[in-house]
Each structure stands twice: as structure tokens, then as C-alpha cells.
Amino acid sequence: MASERLSSILSHLSPTKSGVAAITTKNPDDVVITLAIRTPLAKSGKGGFKDTPLDYLVYSLLKRVLEKSRIDPQLIEDICMGNVSSAKAAYIVRAASLGAGFPVTTGGSSVNRFCSSGLKAVQDIANQISMGSIDVGLAIGAESMTEGGDRLEKPFHDEIIQNSDANDCMQPMGQTSENVGRDFNISREAQDKYAAESYQRAERAQKAGWFDEEIVPISTILKDPKTGEEKRVSITRDEGPRYGTTFESLNKIRPAFPQFGDKSTGGNSSQVTDGAAAILLMKRSKAIELNQPILAKFVGATVAGLAPRIMGIGPTIAIPKLLSKLNLNLQTDIDIIEINEAFASMAVYCLNTLQIDHAKMNVRGGAIALGHPLGATGARQIVTGLSECRRQKKKILLTSMCIGTGQGMAGLFVNEQL
């Protein structure tokens, strides 16, 4: 501890570092990740979690957090859960944590910024730790899309929608995807080629066992839809990857939103999915004190807004904003990139506009092949991205996603398991 503190003092006396040198410096007050795990991702409505309510999914993941980390639950002061679909999310995280073995002294809350909710939860816990409000906290993202989606039940007030951007907040996500494809000339061919690559990468990763260290098996009840018979099963693998998917097979699928356009399909859009992910955070000094493994350093995250009708291009606004704050170059400083594949239209746009090396982006496939449990994705990307950093022995991870109603969010992490 004394050497860590001396290092911190010396770093303040030394000339100011910038860029990669600054973010890779190790100080006792750094916010670090000591555990990053996720459930398998299951097909909504028909997959392994179709009979698993959100509360049980969260409860099961929280139990695995305690098992894997071996941390005294008394030390975890707050749990923040990203979730989109459930109005009862705050009830669920509190009750599930108590049932899983956390004490009554551990707080609980929920956040919802649509597809970035999991990352928003990580940012919330990290900020609390950084400010000294808590020492140890847990961020999770969880979604049962089997139980419900995020569609508006009624239009906004007439006075609100007199503003065209406010009115556009009511556009279905499929419509915004077609807007991106049409406005920026992202062809159906380009979208299907991108989607085929996502499926092929996910297949390769799953067959090679790359996902195995990310995933904690979940034991649950599965009901036979014909007989009603219930049996206990262990869900261990992602259900989204479709082996043998090709451009040609995807190109035969009919448009999913013909009323809005002809480019987005069920094959080149993210899958509707159930799943959850968890990130345990604390200061570096606390991790050393508790003998917890330091997986990565949380550097920061930011949000940016844009026109709701083209919400899909949000990462192209959020990523430059975050990197400019950190004096980093996307092409030369970033090793691994996870951008949520809400739709192939936005993924192709982001890839091209930001001039990303595709070999660095979504190496194990993305939401098109793996699925997109809305509130979980922001946390799931961190779990997957850090695992890939470890596999490749790379340092700098960037995650980002578009957000319904016209926003983008991005987060940056330094892998320390080289």
C-alpha cells in the first residue's frame, strides 16, 4: 500500500501524461473491475429462459457473483441494475439481492437509458466509488424480453410532438434503421454481408470455446409448450449463433419493416434476447487490500445526443467525444472495439464513418448473432470485450452503442490481465 501511495504522489509531481500513457498509469484511486461475468444469451419467447422471470434471472446471476468473487457480501455497498422493460426493476434488484445473500445494508437501484443501461449502471457505480460515496459496488444489466419490450403504449402529448424531434422519438427502432439505410445509402447487400460476418465470427468463437470464460451457467425451469411438463435444466451456451449462415442465405430473407423500407430484416438486425451480465468494481487500493484480481481499469464513459430519427449512428457521435476527452486516437490507440449491432445499417455506417479496422471490432460477433437483451448489452459488451483483450493480450477496450430516442454512449477500459 505504501508503494502504491508513493507511486500516486510521484505521478502528481511528474510532468502531466496524456493519451495512452495517462490512462494506463496505475494509481491507488483508480476504479477497477475485479469480476466480469454474464449469463448465456437465450432466444426470447422460445429459448432457455422463456419460463425464467426477470427476478429469478437477476437472483441467479447475483448468487454466481458471490460464488465467483468469494467477496464478503457485507462489503458491497450498492448494486445498480440497468433494465429497460420492467417498471418493477428497482423492486427486483433489491429483493433479488437479499434473496441471493446480500445484507440489508447493500443498496439497490435501477437505471434506464435504453440500450446503454448496462453501461450506465457501470458508470453510476464507478462514479460513486470515484467520489468516495462507496468503496465497493456492483453493476449489472438484465433483461427478459420474453416478459416485455420497450414500445410506447400511447403517443406523447400533442404540445410535445409539435417539435419534430420530439415527435420522432416515437418512431419504432426498425423505422430508424431504415432511415439510416436510406439517408446514408447503406445497401441491403452491404447489410447482409456485414450480418453474415457477425454470424460467422460468433460461430467461430463459440466452437473455439472463447465464450466459455465469460459465461456462468444458470440452472432454471423449462416448461414443455405442448405438455406443460416442467424440468430443471442448466443453460450454458448462447443460443443466437446460427451455424452455416451465409450472405446468400441472409439475402433471401424478406424485409422486416416493409412499411418503412426494404433493407432491414430479421437476419441483419439484432436478435430479441433474454440475458444478464455483472461487473464488480472498487478502487485499486481496495482490490489489493481484499486480494481481489484486477481485471481492468475503468477509464470513463460519456453520452451524446443526435436526431432521434437516425439514432443508430449514435456511436459516431459518442466515440469521438469520449476519445477527445482522453486525447486518444481511434485508429492507433484502441485495440478492441465492441459496438452494439442494433441493426446492420448502423453497424456498417459506424464502421465506415469512423474508419474502424473491422478486425478489431466485434471479434466474436455482435448482437446480430448473439442477441441484444436491451438492459444487459452495455454490461455484456464489457464482459466480452475484456475476455477478448485477454485472449489477444491487448490493452485498450472501447465499447459503444446507439440509444433509442437519439443518443449514443461510449466507455473505455484498460485490460490489466496481459
Indicate which residues carry an active-site annotation.
115, 372, 402
Q: Phi first, then psi: what are they for 361, rounded to 5°?
A: -105, 125
Residue type, 146: T
Question: Using only C-alpha atoms, what is the Rg of the chain?
Answer: 21
Helix (H) or strand (E) holding 399: strand 396-403
CA neighbours within 13 Å on the CB side: how many for 31?
27
* Residue 69 to residue 282: CA distance in whole angstroms: 13
Helix (H) or strand (E) holding 129: helix 117-131
* Residue 63 to residue 49: CA distance in whole angstroms: 17
79-115 burial, b at 16+ Cβ within 10 Å, e below that, comes to bbbbbbbbeebeebbbebbeebebeeebbbebbbbbb
Strands 296-305 and 407-415 turn out to be antiparallel
Q: Phi first, then psi: what are they for 397, rounded to 5°?
A: -110, 130
Residue whose entry in the numeric block shows the C-alpha cell 433509442: 404
* Residue 224 to residue 232: CA distance in whole angstroms: 11
Cβ pair 278, 378 in contact under 8 A: no
